[in-house]
Amino acid sequence: MLERGMHQGMGLLHRAPAEALRFAAVGSAPDALGLQVLWLLCEQLQRLGYPTIVLDGCAVESTHAPGLEQLLEQDSWRAPPGPLHGDGACVAVLPAARGLLRLPDTAPLAPLHPMFRAYALVLLHAPVHQLAELLPQHTSVPLILTTPGTTGTQQAYRHIKQLAVQAGLSSQVCALVRGDSPAQQRQARTQIATLQRCAADYLGLAQQGLVVDADNPQDLQRMALQLLENAGTIEEAVAMPPLYASLAPATAPFVRSH
């Protein structure tokens, strides 16, 4: 016999998996080459069949360039245009510096789901310290782009440490080169090996590393596939009614007061 206030579908609703939105994170590009590779990476994702929207936490919203802040404020923005299918070169980008600061402390990424569920992937590009605040215990593995030399190596290690210590996150570090120069390739591999050794010795991490030639489409595709593999999900928030919501006293039409 069914209890009043419940129906036969309630159990199924509780068990039904919520639709998830794929989410990836990239630390702010350290130089012009890193920024160029970020957009090439997004184009590769589009070509692989993953319509992508970039939330650029390094770009500030304004009246002339609205973005995430306006989406969070205005109901009329709750259903932004979806991706343009079939155009592999078209990548949607939204300024998001202020909007990211307005996300809630609890489940900060949840509000993004209803806004961007028409896309296959949300890519967050933001300073590493902000990723550490937004992604604690999240399942994604952020991507860190490095620059050559000692300074670039030290900065990359600080980012690896910040994500690991502050947010409990592992990361993937990527050394970028341009062209197939053996000297550049050797330097990049050495940098990755140094970072992996430091992460193992001082943080106890098995650090992921990757060398990418910005001029090589196959390298960029491999990078895109790695990003997808390291992506997490944003779960759809499903508001469930209380099981006994209709058991409020004296609300049935046949109940009369005496």
Query: Domain for residue 65, yes or no?
Result: yes
Query: Domain for residue 91, yes or no?
Result: yes
Instruction: Say if residue 153's pLDDT is above 90.
Output: yes
User: pTM for the full model?
Assistant: 0.81
Place of tokens 């939330």: 55
Residue-wise pLDDT for 174-193, tens only, equals: 999 998 889 999 999 999 99
Query: Domain for residue 107, yes or no?
Result: yes
User: Cα–Cα distances in Å, from 139 out to 20, 31, 51?
Assistant: 13, 27, 21
Query: Domain for residue 248, yes or no?
Result: no
Quote the CA–CA distance of 183 and 253 in Å, as a whole number: 83
Instruction: Say if residue 11's pLDDT is above 50.
Output: no
Residue 15 half-sphere exposure, CB side, CA atoms within 13 Å? 5
pLDDT of residue 245: 43
Query: Domain for residue 14, yes or no?
Result: no
Residue-wise pLDDT for 189-241, tens only, equals: 999 999 999 999 999 999 999 999 999 999 999 999 999 999 999 887 554 44
Q: Which domain holds residue 177?
A: 20-238
Query: Domain for residue 15, yes or no?
Result: no
pLDDT of residue 139: 80
Residue-wise pLDDT for 102-149, tens only, equals: 999 888 999 999 999 999 999 999 999 999 999 976 789 999 999 999
pLDDT class for 12, splitting at 50, 70, 90? very low
Query: Domain for residue 104, yes or no?
Result: yes
**In the chain, how many domains are there?**
1
116: domain CATH number?
Answer: 3.40.50.300
Query: Domain for residue 162, yes or no?
Result: yes
Quote the tokens at residue 111. 């509000």
Helix axes 149-167, 182-198, angle to 10 degrees: 30
Quote the CA–CA distance of 76 and 72 in Å, as a whole number: 10
The strand pair at 208-213 and 232-235 is best described as unpaired
pLDDT of residue 256: 35
